């Protein structure tokens, strides 16, 4: 063949190739050229990127097997991205490939697409956007396929994906309608059928029609070709049957998952076993075989990543059969092996808290509930339930600590000198043994760490020498060994720090730190004995050091005893009212009466004991206590209740509730002096009643209105210190921290900065009878003013003065001018001739709060 002929043939081939690249001519060659390029180049790479991104999404998703699983394993995040940004680079690449396929190989001629691969490009585009969690753009891509390519072989797949997107957008009813129509009208391929029915099930679950979801999931599990999906659908079926209480049907579904064993990811297999085990019937099942079954799960080496859940299940089994010590051991093992399952940690801690709560070990229960809340979603319903339960324990923990510590101090006070010396000798000997053991352990650890450091340094030096001398002869070099100085070894330093804290406590870095008074006190009473007080090394082991700290002042001892007695009373009431722990309440109140309490606590304690005896069925004790109350306190409210149990005295005029209501009404009527006087009387009368803090805060508020800011601050501070664990005490503490600093400001503001002004008409106590007639005339005058929205009020100022106030004026000059207009009215009946003060609303609040009217007048 001649050279010229070869060149001619080559040119013809190039011409044909160039002609086939045209996207504007609908020829066989053009269509197939672009279709092949789209399928085997661009879409091939795009689908690879899509699958890679899906694998990433699948790996990132964390299934919560404690709750109903979603049908599709994809964790939706709430991260916000700017337009054009992507959560995943693989999906971005897949989207770019899909767009490139449309732009470079689309053959849209006269409104009709002739490249049969373009519909798949749009499907890839929608899927990439869907998994990238950009659901609106994804919906646009799927809708475009349905609009432009109704004859596509991917039309049913596009319809399914459109409804998946609608479900993500919470258009569940629309998705159900469209999917049901698709299933009725079309004959779907197996995987499309599985996708359609599974997403229909998800939509039913979302609208709480879970019974309808069961049928669809069963169809999906039958038609799917993917083992992971089959396992997931069957597991969800089991979960739904459990919700309906049909354990046998649930176990059949879980067995289908278990039978797949190594064909599916291990989490499905293990959680199916565990879910099935929770359906075990202890009454009819063989307990030994079931425990052996759980033990086999525990001992299987392949199950090590799931030991936290297995231990939890074994713990539940032991707890159900009253083997509390075994249960506690396994709950703790579950916590130690937990790999980040916060819900499981919350379950472990909550159960341990409940077990301690049931044993009335409330301090330990409170600690467990604290740990529970750290592993729960903030402000969720379960979180709020635990938080409320934990807050109810605050009072118990506080008063138990006070009672225990003060009892210890009073016990030491009552010891003889010989008993004190013997007690603290034993105590200091134990301290010496512990200190010596800790010292030896720290020294041994330091030696071990130093040896390790030396070996590492020698090895390092040897390695350097070998590198320096290729012959292999090691030549020691001066300074080449790593220093074994104490502070260069982190392990030794850590142990040293730990030993220091155990001996000295947490000390600030400052001069004379050994004499610091910052160490934590063992007793919470301010004037109580400080057993763990500050001491040097010699004092710590000297019994006389501790003996010298035992209080001897009778005033201090009486204060400790009163605080202890009040704690016992509060514990008795709390155990009785909040927790219905009548035996614990009985013990605390009986112990209180043995301790010669203040008279104010005696009668309420006896009445509460009477109620407790009735609850416990101790009729003889109840009758004896009843007779004692009636005989010794015949005029008391409690005696009247016992004599007339059906008279509903709790609602009579003498009940604390009704008295408080009447007093609150007087507060609203500005009878502040009466409120303060009567509140004092009732606080003494109802001492120990839960309503007393309410009387205190009402008294503080009335005192503030009567005498000003300082009186209010003192009252609030008293409530915060005296009733720290009541709701009123906590509110008072919040007021002290957040409100009082704002209210303390008494500097007057400039009139230029104010927007509302008032006119004040002062009335002394001698003129109070004139107020009704005056305000009647004032209201008549004000009602004729159309250009301002004016109102009037009668405001208490102090014990000697009351203001009649006109509100709603817009400037200082306007307020003064308004008062002058009323004074100069031509109608004598409408004339308001009385001294007045113009004042802005902010400054009026200040003079009412601080009672500093004279200061304001001098500043004007």
Q: Given a cut of 50, is residue 528 above it in pLDDT?
A: no
Quick one: tokens of 64?
């919560």
Q: Which residues contact 498 (CB under 8 A, 6 or more apart)?
A: none
Q: What residues form DSSP beta bridges with 109?
A: 112
Rounded CA-CA distance 62/74 in Å is 9
Helix runs in 61-117, H state only: 89-105
Highest mean pLDDT among 65-79, 343-357, 382-396: 343-357
- Reported as a single tens digit per residue, the pLDDT across 79-138 is 655 555 566 788 888 888 877 777 776 656 655 665 667 777 888 888 888 888 888 988
Rounded CA-CA distance 815/755 in Å is 12
Q: Which residues contact 806 (CB under 8 A, 6 or more apart)?
A: 758, 759, 761, 778, 782, 790, 791, 792, 815, 818, 819
- Reported as a single tens digit per residue, the pLDDT across 30-56 is 555 656 666 667 778 888 888 888 888
User: Higher model confidence: residue 475 or residue 263?
Assistant: 263
- DSSP readout, 646-661? TS-GGGSTTSHHHHHH
- Sheet with 791-798, side-by-side order of all strands: 791-798, 801-809, 757-764, 837-840
Q: What's the mean pLDDT in 835-855?
A: 87
Maximum distance among all Cα pairs of the chain, rounded to whole angstroms: 139
Question: Which pLDDT value is given to residue 249?
Answer: 93
What are the CA-CA distances from residue 338 to residues 330, 341, 352 (Å)? 12, 6, 16
- Reported as a single tens digit per residue, the pLDDT across 143-180 is 888 888 887 888 888 899 999 999 999 999 999 999 99
User: Higher model confidence: residue 512 or residue 822?
Assistant: 822
Of the pLDDT bands very low, low, confident and very high (cuts 50, 70, 90), residue 477 is very low
Of the pLDDT bands very low, low, confident and very high (cuts 50, 70, 90), residue 445 is confident
User: Higher model confidence: residue 515 or residue 431?
Assistant: 431
Q: Given a cut of 80, is residue 77 above it in pLDDT?
A: no
- Contact indicator for 388, 382 with CB cutoff of 8 Å: no
CB atoms within 10 A of CB 273: 22
Question: Which pLDDT value is given to residue 457?
Answer: 58
Question: Which pLDDT value is given to residue 35?
Answer: 61
Q: What residues form DSSP beta bridges with 803?
A: 762, 795
Q: 3-state DSSP call for residue 759?
A: strand
- Contact indicator for 420, 481 with CB cutoff of 8 Å: no
Average pLDDT over the chain reads 80
Quick one: tokens of 671?
């009878």
Q: What's the mean pLDDT in 44-71?
A: 84
Highest mean pLDDT among 236-245, 555-564, 630-639, 822-831: 236-245
Tokens 């109140």 belong to 589
Question: Which pLDDT value is given to residue 522?
Answer: 35
Q: Given a cut of 80, is residue 767 above it in pLDDT?
A: yes
- DSSP secondary-structure letter at 804? E
- Reported as a single tens digit per residue, the pLDDT across 193-227 is 999 999 999 999 999 999 999 999 999 999 999 99
Q: Which residues contact 275 (CB under 8 A, 6 or more apart)?
A: 65, 235, 238, 239, 242, 250, 254
Q: Given a cut of 70, is residue 844 above it in pLDDT?
A: yes
- DSSP readout, 130-158? HHTT-HHHHHHHHHHHHHH-TT-TTHHHH
Of the pLDDT bands very low, low, confident and very high (cuts 50, 70, 90), residue 474 is very low
Rounded CA-CA distance 52/365 in Å is 48
Spatial CA neighbour of 38 closest among 92, 117, 126: 117
Q: Given a cut of 70, is residue 537 above it in pLDDT?
A: no
Q: What's the mean pLDDT in 417-423?
A: 87
Task: Tally DSSP H helices, then E strands, for the chain.
Answer: 38, 6
User: Against a cut of 0.75, is the pTM above it?
Assistant: no
Q: What's the mean pLDDT in 461-468?
A: 52
Checking 295-302 for CB contacts under 8 A at 24+ apart, the result is 297/270, 297/273, 302/266
User: Higher model confidence: residue 525 or residue 229?
Assistant: 229
Least confident range of 165-179, 381-395, 444-458: 444-458
- Reported as a single tens digit per residue, the pLDDT across 736-765 is 888 888 888 888 888 888 888 888 888 888
Q: Given a cut of 80, is residue 492 above it in pLDDT?
A: no
- DSSP readout, 701-762? HHHHHHH-HHHHHHHHHHHHHHSTTSHHHHHHHHIIIIIHHHHT--PPPPGGG-S-EEEEEE
Q: What residues form DSSP beta bridges with 809?
A: 757
Question: Which pLDDT value is given to residue 119?
Answer: 74
Quick one: tokens of 342?
């916060």
Of the pLDDT bands very low, low, confident and very high (cuts 50, 70, 90), residue 478 is very low
Least confident range of 21-25, 112-116, 218-222, 798-802: 21-25
Rounded CA-CA distance 551/535 in Å is 18
Q: What's the mean pLDDT in 793-822?
A: 84
Of the pLDDT bands very low, low, confident and very high (cuts 50, 70, 90), residue 499 is low
What are the CA-CA distances from residue 632 to residues 572, 602, 603, 610 (Å)? 22, 11, 9, 15
Each residue of 718-727: b (16+ CB within 10 Å) or e?
bbbeebebbe
Q: What percent of the chain has pLDDT over 90?
A: 23
Question: Which pLDDT value is given to residue 475?
Answer: 43
Q: What's the mean pLDDT in 771-796?
A: 82
Q: Given a cut of 70, is residue 415 above it in pLDDT?
A: yes
Rounded CA-CA distance 743/850 in Å is 9
Q: What's the mean pLDDT in 401-421?
A: 88
Q: Given a cut of 80, is residue 463 above it in pLDDT?
A: no
CB atoms within 10 A of CB 416: 8
CB atoms within 10 A of CB 247: 16
Question: Which pLDDT value is given to residue 731?
Answer: 85
Quick one: tokens of 655?
């009940």
Tokens 């940004």 belong to 85
- Contact indicator for 108, 56 with CB cutoff of 8 Å: no
Of the pLDDT bands very low, low, confident and very high (cuts 50, 70, 90), residue 421 is confident
- Reported as a single tens digit per residue, the pLDDT across 653-703 is 567 777 888 888 888 888 888 888 888 887 777 766 777 888 888 888 888
Question: Which pLDDT value is given to residue 817?
Answer: 82
Q: 3-state DSSP call for residue 81?
A: coil
Helix runs in 21-67, H state only: 28-37, 44-60
Q: What's the mean pLDDT in 284-313?
A: 92
Rounded CA-CA distance 831/834 in Å is 9
Helix, strand, coil content of the chain in percent (nearest 5): 70, 5, 25
Question: Which pLDDT value is given to residue 507?
Answer: 61
Angle between helices 324-336 and 342-358 (to 10 degrees): 150
- Reported as a single tens digit per residue, the pLDDT across 598-609 is 887 888 889 889
Supply angle C-alpha 228, 229, 231, rounded to 5: 65
- Contact indicator for 530, 380 with CB cutoff of 8 Å: no
Highest mean pLDDT among 31-35, 497-501, 803-807: 803-807
Of the pLDDT bands very low, low, confident and very high (cuts 50, 70, 90), residue 525 is very low
């Amino acid at each position: 063949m001649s050279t010229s002929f070869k060149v001619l043939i080559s040119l013809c081939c190039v011409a044909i190739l160039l002609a086939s690249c045209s996207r504007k001519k609908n020829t066989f060659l053009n269509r197939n050229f672009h279709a092949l390029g789209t399928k085997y180049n661009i879409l091939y790479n795009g689908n690879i990127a899509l699958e890679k991104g899906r694998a990433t999404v699948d790996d990132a998703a964390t299934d919560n097997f404690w709750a109903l699983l979603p049908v599709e394993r994809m964790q939706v995040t709430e991260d916000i991205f700017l337009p054009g940004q992507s959560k995943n680079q693989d999906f971005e690449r897949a989207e770019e490939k899909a767009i490139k396929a449309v732009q470079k190989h689309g053959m849209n001629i006269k409104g009709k697409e002739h490249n049969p691969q373009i519909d798949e490009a749009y499907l890839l585009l929608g899927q990439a956007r869907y998994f990238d969690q950009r659901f609106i753009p994804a919906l646009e891509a799927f809708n475009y396929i349905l609009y432009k390519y109704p004859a596509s072989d991917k039309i049913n797949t596009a319809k399914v994906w459109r409804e998946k997107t609608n479900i993500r957008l919470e258009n569940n009813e629309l998705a159900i309608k469209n999917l049901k129509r698709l299933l009725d009208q079309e004959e779907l391929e197996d995987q499309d059928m599985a996708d359609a029915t599974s997403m229909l099930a998800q939509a039913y679950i979302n609208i709480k029609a879970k019974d309808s979801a069961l049928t669809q999931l069963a169809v999906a599990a039958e038609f799917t070709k993917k083992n992971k999906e089959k396992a997931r659908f069957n597991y969800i079926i089991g979960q739904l049957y459990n919700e309906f209480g049909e354990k046998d049907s649930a176990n059949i579904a879980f067995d289908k998952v278990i039978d797949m064993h190594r064909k599916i990811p291990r989490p499905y297999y293990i959680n199916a076993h565990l879910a099935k085990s929770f359906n075990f019937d202890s009454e009819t099942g063989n307990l030994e075989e079931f425990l052996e079954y759980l033990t086999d799960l525990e001992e299987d080496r392949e199950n090590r990543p799931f030991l936290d859940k297995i231990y939890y299940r074994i713990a539940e089994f032991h707890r159900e059969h009253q083997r509390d010590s075994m249960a506690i051991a396994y709950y703790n093992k579950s916590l130690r092996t937990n790999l980040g399952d916060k819900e499981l940690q919350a379950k472990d801690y909550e159960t341990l808290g409940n077990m301690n709560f049931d044993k009335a070990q409330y301090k330990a229960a409170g600690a467990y509930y604290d740990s529970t809340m750290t592993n729960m979603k903030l402000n969720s319903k379960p979180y709020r339930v635990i938080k409320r339960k934990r807050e109810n324990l605050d009072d118990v923990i506080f008063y138990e600590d006070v009672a225990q510590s003060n009892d210890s101090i009073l016990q030491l006070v009552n010891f003889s000198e010989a008993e004190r010396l013997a007690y603290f000798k034993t105590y200091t000997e134990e301290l010496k043994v512990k200190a010596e053991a800790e010292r030896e352990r720290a020294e041994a650890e330091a030696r071990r760490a130093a040896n390790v450091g030396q070996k590492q340094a020698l090895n390092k030096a040897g390695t350097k020498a070998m590198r320096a001398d290729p012959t292999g002869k090691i030549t020691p070099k001066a300074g080449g060994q790593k220093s074994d100085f104490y502070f260069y070894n982190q392990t030794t330093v850590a142990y040293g720090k730990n030993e220091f804290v155990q001996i000295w406590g947490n000390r600030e870095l400052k001069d004379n730190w050994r004499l610091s008074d910052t160490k934590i006190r063992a007793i919470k009473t301010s004037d109580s004995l400080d057993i763990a007080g500050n001491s040097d090394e010699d004092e710590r082991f000297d019994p006389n050091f501790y003996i010298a700290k035992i209080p001897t002042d009778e005033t201090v001892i009486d204060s400790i005893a009163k605080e202890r007695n009040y704690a016992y009373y509060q514990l008795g009431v709390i155990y009785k009212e909040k927790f219905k722990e009548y035996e614990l309440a009985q013990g605390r109140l009986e112990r209180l009466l043995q301790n010669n309490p203040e008279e104010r606590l005696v009668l309420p304690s006896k009445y509460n004991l009477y109620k407790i005896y009735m609850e416990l069925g101790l009729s003889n004790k109840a009758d004896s206590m009843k007779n004692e109350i009636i005989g010794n306190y015949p005029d008391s409210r409690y005696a009247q209740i016992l004599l007339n149990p059906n008279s509903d005295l709790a609602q009579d005029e003498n009940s604390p509730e009704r008295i408080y209501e009447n007093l609150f009404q007087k507060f609203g009527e500005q009878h502040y002096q009466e409120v303060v006087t009567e509140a004092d009387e009732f606080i003494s009368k109802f001492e120990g009643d839960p309503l007393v803090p309410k009387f205190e805060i009402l008294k503080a508020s009335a005192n503030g209105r009567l005498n000003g800011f300082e009186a209010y601050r003192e009252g609030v501070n008293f409530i915060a210190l005296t009733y720290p664990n009541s709701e009123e005490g906590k509110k008072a503490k919040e007021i002290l921290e957040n409100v009082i600093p704002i209210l303390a400001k008494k500097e007057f503001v400039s009139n230029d900065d104010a927007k509302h002004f008032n006119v004040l008409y002062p009335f002394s106590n001698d003129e109070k009878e004139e107020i009704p007639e005056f305000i009647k005339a004032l209201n008549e005058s004000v009602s004729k003013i159309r250009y301002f929205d004016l109102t009037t009020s009668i405001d208490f100022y102090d014990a000697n003065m009351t203001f009649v106030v006109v509100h709603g004026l817009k400037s200082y000059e306007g307020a003064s001018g308004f008062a002058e207009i009323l004074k100069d009215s031509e109608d004598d009946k409408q004339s308001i001739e009385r001294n007045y003060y113009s004042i802005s609303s902010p400054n009026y609040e200040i003079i009412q709060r601080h009672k500093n009217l004279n200061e304001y007048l001098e500043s004007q």
